[in-house]
Amino acid sequence: MWVVPEAQKFRNSDINLEFEGKLDQMFMGIVTTSDKAWTLFQ
């Protein structure tokens, strides 16, 4: 995994719990390895 120092500011920011739940549903089952990514629905 590559580290992007500019993204550090987002690590501690709060996220709306409802929005977090939606993101969880959208990206559930997604696996990423190296530079390839796939989902269960591909």
Domain encompassing residue 38: 17-42
Q: Shortest CA distance to 39 belongs to which of 23, 21, 22, 27?
A: 27
Does residue 39 lie in a domain region? yes
For residue 20, the model assigns a pLDDT of 86
Sequence-distant (6+) residues with CB within 8 A of 3 are: none
Residue 32 forms beta bridges with which residues?
A: 37
Residue type at 6?
E
Dist. CA 10–CA 15, nearest whole Å: 10
Q: How far is CA 5 from the centre of its chain?
A: 17
* Inside any domain, residue 10: no
Residue 30 corresponds to which tokens in the numbers above? Answer: 């997604």
| 34 inside domain | yes
Q: What is the pLDDT of residue 22?
A: 92
Number of domains the chain contains: 1
The 10s digit of each residue's pLDDT in 7-36 is 766 665 677 889 888 988 988 877 767 666
Specify the pLDDT at position 7. 73
